[in-house]
Amino acid sequence: MAVLHHDMYKLSGNAPWMAGLENGLGVCAIYYLCCVPQSFGDGIMREIAEMGHEIGYRYEDMGL
């Protein structure tokens, strides 16, 4: 068993393409959104989730 995950930062617009490729191969992955505006735009999360992938949220606590 393997766990495949992606952190979506500046090039998160590429994530739906990758998710579609993985979906076509029967692979499920976890896509982590990060604290950057690019991760939240244009329904990216919904599109990826509709392909059967999981959505997570990656955060960094820079206040330490």
pLDDT at 37: 66
Alpha-carbon gap, residue 30 to 22, rounded angstroms: 11
Alpha-carbon gap, residue 39 to 47, rounded angstroms: 12
pLDDT in tens, 3-40: 888 887 777 778 889 999 999 999 999 998 877 666 66
pLDDT at 53: 95
pTM tops 0.75: yes
